[in-house]
Structure 1
Amino acid sequence: MNSLLDAPAAVRVGEELNREKISAFIHQHLPSLQGEPEIQQFPGGASNLTYLLRYPERDLILRRPPFGHRAKSAHDMLREAKIMSALKPVYPYVPAVIASCSDSAIMECDFYVMERLHGIIPRQNLPKELILNTEDTRRLCLNVIDKMIELHQIDYQHAGLASIAKGAGYVARQVAGWSERYRQAKTDDVGDFETVMQWLHDKMPAQDLATCLIHNDFRFDNVVLNPADPTEVIGVLDWEMATLGDPLMDLGNTLAYWVQADDDAVFQSVRRQPTHLPGMLTRQEVITYYGERTGYRVDNFDFYAIFGLFRLAVIVQQIYYRYFHGQTTNPAFSGFGKLSNYLEQRCLRLIKASIL
């Protein structure tokens, strides 16, 4: 079963860590830990970078921001670690944070270290050794959605997370903020998204549906599955963008990544989670299921779906900006400009078909 676990690889050129400094930092917080870490890197990490610190007796995970230009408000490692630590007692799927660090003498950026959850991360395709029938796949799909619903129902005040709220008007702040981020990250070879941004501004709801704790990047490749029962979710990762906000915005962001079996070839080519498999819910089925479980009205979801795709395009473009300007050499980012253009056209098609 070990072959099913998410496998790290060699650290990418230009993204190396200083092993001696990292080892000394870890030893301050875990003085009984023996030996020096073998450092590897996980293949994901289009945004923040994730490293495996392999010690003889246990594995740890280190998270740090990307190298190169970063958006001013993005990649706040200390905030992510704080949210995870507060959330852990009431949402057990969060990995335990061991230590966080803002000392530039150790690393030129903030970072944190957490426990490693040993399990299966369902990326673009399930591991070849893992064969699920249609019924099991549906159970997995519903279990993943249920973890988002469970998150949205947490008493964030009891968890001590009320301080991360910025008050009413979450949707309006998101539309304005992501629009500004796109304009700052635009390169000469991509579309301007101005029609999409104006539509979102004009069609956003007058007030937020509700305020709850939202993940803001809830995807299959951010969950960890139990190797003994791969339909069971044992972990939820990547809390960088978690905040208090409108739950339907969270769902719209999730569905931006939800490539289903009947989508066009271009969208299929960028699929990064196994939502195409027989047994997986379609996007509309997810919306309906979420509405039935939560009681929220979801009969007019166009705004949230289009915003989710636009926000994804901004994330893609921010990454492409770094590649375009030579601030990262990861070849996986070379086609992100074309992806940004595709997402603009997808948004425009949905706008044309919208009844809003």
Structure 2
Amino acid sequence: MTDKGTDDSGNPAKPVRDEDAFDVDAVQDWLGLGEIEEVRQFPGGASNLTYLLRLADRELILRRPPAGQKAAGAHDMGREHRIQDALKPVFPYVPEMVGYCEDEAVLGSPFYVMAKVEGTVPRRDLPSTMTRDDVSRLCGNAWDVLAELHSVDVAAHAELVALGRGDGYVGRQVSGWTGRFAKARTDDTGDWSDIEAWIAARQPADVAQVLIHNDFRLDNLVVAPDDPTRIVGVLDWEMATVGDPLMDLGGSMAYWVEAADDEFFQMFRRQPSQADGMWTRSEIVARYCERMGYPVSPEEWRFYEVFGLYRLAVIAQQIWYRYFHKQTTNEQYAVFGPAVGYLETRCRSIIAASDVAGD
């Protein structure tokens, strides 16, 4: 685990890639907080670009969109800023917002700046000093934070209410992500039509309308400097909205690679979900549903599991599209093409198990 801004192992801030560089003086003038002594870039993200700004008396984080094709409504910096600004008073894990710039003349796109949350981000591996009980406690605390987010009273905050579009969130997600997949296809994209038909035929009604993160993973969390089991920050609110909580959980489980998963899925892992003491996907789902009062059978959960993997495949395909068409030269993106094919196989295996079970 590393501080999100150190130069140690894990996912440290590194020198800014040439293709992602910006006019530091222009940002410094806009920010008006003194000289920006150093700018570094966090290389792990595959969506919005994230930078560390080092000033004499503080460290700040700058977020901006990537270059290349963007899905409609994606990479909305103003929206991401507004959500966190509205949520901060009732959800203490949100970073403090510093400012939002919509003037594209400053660095070529809208961007926002926020305070850096002090602590460490659980990346691929945990410190060897953590015991099995420590790891289990971290896992439980993390999913309790998601339940806490889903318990925020959205109706009491106008900025959050405005995010919602009412019932039908599941259906909108199914049609929306299917449309995004169609637009991001490349010559090597497989035939997903039967998987899409299965998803469309089995979509349930919304179980609730709550504030959801839509990208909740351990590597989007910050743990306290003095306690690696205590969550102090939740990052990357790009896809947050008001919607169905089980869809949020299903999306998170698509990233949750267990120790017993196959070799390729282990390569896909970006968080320490395989560590000794981490809960299995089924244990997390059972604990969450019990706490939140959502009675979901294993058969019913298959929809959320398959859709979570499908949604992840679309995200991977959108990234692969940019790499395939040479809109980015980031070699980290080369793996996303094979990842889409793997996720297709994973979806099919779950659907086949569902058919055998008579679902």
TM-score computed with the length of structure 1 as normaliser? 0.95
Q: How does 1:102-251 map to 2 (within 5 A)?
A: 102-126=102-126, 128=127, 130-160=128-158, 161-205=160-204, 207-251=205-249
Shift in CA distance, 286/140, structure 1 to aligned 2, threshold 3 Å = same
CA–CA distance in structure 2, aligned partners of residues 270 and 13 of structure 1: 26
- 3-state DSSP class of the match of 1:164? coil
Extract unaligned runs of 5+ from structure 1.
Answer: 28-32
Offset at residue 37 of structure 1 (A):
3.5
Q: 1:24 is matched with which residue? A: 29
Show CA shifts across 1:120-154 (max 9, x none). Answer: 1011122x5x5211100000000000000000001
Whether the 8 Å CA contact 2:81–2:100 is kept in 1: the answer is yes
After TM superposition, the runs of 4+ consecutive aligned structure 1 residues lying more than 2 A away are: 1-7, 33-37
Offset at residue 12 of structure 1 (A):
1.3
Q: Aligned residues: percent identity?
A: 50
CA–CA distance in structure 1, aligned partners of residues 338 and 11 of structure 2: 29
CA–CA distance in structure 1, aligned partners of residues 142 and 226 of structure 2: 16
Amino acid at match of 1:177: G
Q: 1:40 is matched with which residue? A: 40
Question: Which shifted more, 304-313 or 12-21?
Answer: 12-21
Whether the 8 Å CA contact 1:5–1:121 is kept in 2: the answer is no
Shift in CA distance, 5/113, structure 1 to aligned 2, threshold 3 Å = farther
Shift in CA distance, 109/34, structure 1 to aligned 2, threshold 3 Å = closer
Whether the 8 Å CA contact 1:44–1:50 is kept in 2: the answer is no
CA–CA distance in structure 2, aligned partners of residues 242 and 39 of structure 1: 27
Offset at residue 297 of structure 1 (A):
1.2
CA–CA distance in structure 2, aligned partners of residues 329 and 194 of structure 1: 31
- 3-state DSSP class of the match of 2:156? coil
Report the number of matched residues: 348
Extract unaligned runs of 5+ from structure 2.
Answer: none
CA–CA distance in structure 2, aligned partners of residues 263 and 185 of structure 1: 28
CA–CA distance in structure 1, aligned partners of residues 55 and 191 of structure 2: 47
- 3-state DSSP class of the match of 1:196? helix
CA–CA distance in structure 1, aligned partners of residues 319 and 10 of structure 2: 27
TM-score computed with the length of structure 2 as normaliser? 0.94
2:17 maps to 1:12 = yes
Amino acid at match of 1:164: L
Whether the 8 Å CA contact 1:99–1:113 is kept in 2: the answer is yes
- 3-state DSSP class of the match of 2:258? coil
Offset at residue 5 of structure 1 (A):
9.0
CA–CA distance in structure 2, aligned partners of residues 244 and 264 of structure 1: 34
Show CA shifts across 1:296-320 (max 9, x none). Answer: 1121200001000000000000000
Offset at residue 236 of structure 1 (A):
0.2
Offset at residue 54 of structure 1 (A):
0.4
Amino acid at match of 2:242: L
CA–CA distance in structure 1, aligned partners of residues 203 and 34 of structure 2: 55
Amino acid at match of 2:323: Y
Amino acid at match of 1:124: R
Amino acid at match of 1:15: D
Q: Please point out which of 273, 278, 281 is paired with 1:280.
A: 278
CA–CA distance in structure 2, aligned partners of residues 317 and 131 of structure 1: 37
Offset at residue 39 of structure 1 (A):
0.7
- 3-state DSSP class of the match of 2:120? coil
Offset at residue 159 of structure 1 (A):
2.7
Q: 1:30 is matched with which residue? A: none
CA–CA distance in structure 1, aligned partners of residues 320 and 113 of structure 2: 27
Show CA shifts across 1:178-224 (max 9, x none). Answer: 0010111011112132111111100101x211111100000000000
Whether the 8 Å CA contact 2:250–2:305 is kept in 1: the answer is yes
